[in-house]
Amino acid sequence: MFEKIISDVINKQIDKIFGGLTGIFKKKYNEYKYKIQTGKAFEEYIKLSFEKYKYTKTILYKHEPVLIEEFYVNLDLELNNKVIDTRSVKNLVEVSNDLIITGVAGSGKSTLMKYLFLNSIENKAGIPIFIEIRNIKKDIFNDLFEILKEYNFPQDIDLFEKILKSGKFIVFLDGIDEVSPDIRNKISSEIIYMRDSFSNNVYIVTSRPNEKYVSWVNFTELKI
């Protein structure tokens, strides 16, 4: 079922992303038209990510992965004494396109992010991209580009930058608190840069609570 949904997600967004291109970007689009129109630029990435993130381990299931959908219990998020239901990613996006979800260690942040990633596919809410921040090699923007290049996205960083401006993506950035403190400020700056440069997308970040997020002026903090 999900393979059909993934194809539908891609086909729904492709025309919106590339339909408004003009000039040199229209020419570049025509060069890569076959890969883009068939959805291969994104579809393979989402299919493999779906297979990766539909499983997780828990305290009860420490020794083998289990399907999230078989045990996931809805986590409520709080904003100004108001409860945000996480059963649909659309409930979160109604609050803001720029969110940071905070909770103590073991509160279920990563499981929630995996669930929301899968839910965004099911709801055809946009093209979802999932990044575990602890695995970043260069910086968020270039790592994102390198990831998609592996799955048949055209090797053209200017075109990639242009399509990010289309605002058709939901970017999940999990675990900023899991990187060493000496690079955490750098990662924070990169997230803010991504949000400011490609502000039409949705960004959802997770972390343990930290007062520094008050300075993330465009982000709304939701607490588990």
Closest Cα partner for 11 from 41, 32, 31? 41
Tell me the pLDDT tens digit for each residue of 122-139. 888 888 899 999 999 888
Band (pLDDT 50/70/90 cuts) for residue 206 is very high
- Identify whether the C-beta of residue 48 lies closer than 8 Å to the C-beta of residue 129: no
Q: Average pLDDT, stretch 92-100? A: 96
Please tell me the least confidently modeled range out of 64-78, 115-129, 200-214. Answer: 64-78
Work out the angle between the directed axes of helices 157-164 and 23-31 (0-180°, nearest 10).
110
Tokens representing 215 are: 């300075």
Band (pLDDT 50/70/90 cuts) for residue 8 is low
Band (pLDDT 50/70/90 cuts) for residue 192 is very high
Indicate the DSSP class of residue 213.
G
Band (pLDDT 50/70/90 cuts) for residue 182 is confident
The residues pairing with 56 across neighbouring beta strands, listed in sequence order, are: 66
Please tell me the least confidently modeled range out of 108-117, 159-168, 196-205. Answer: 159-168
β-strands 169-174, 202-207 pairing: parallel
Q: Average pLDDT, stretch 110-117? A: 92
Rg (alpha carbons) of the chain, rounded to whole number: 17
- Identify whether the C-beta of residue 153 lies closer than 8 Å to the C-beta of residue 39: no
Residue 77's H or E segment, with its range, is strand 76-79
Q: Average pLDDT, stretch 110-121? A: 91
**How far is 137 from 44, CA to CA, in rounded Å?**
22
Band (pLDDT 50/70/90 cuts) for residue 28 is low
Tokens representing 24 are: 């040199």
Predicted confidence at residue 79, as pLDDT, reads: 95
Burial class from Cβ neighbours inside 10 Å (0-12, 13-18, 19+) for residue 210 reads: middle
Listed ranges 14-18, 34-38, 62-66, 136-140; the one with the highest mean pLDDT: 136-140
**How far is 201 from 164, CA to CA, in rounded Å?**
8
Indicate the average pLDDT of the chain.
83
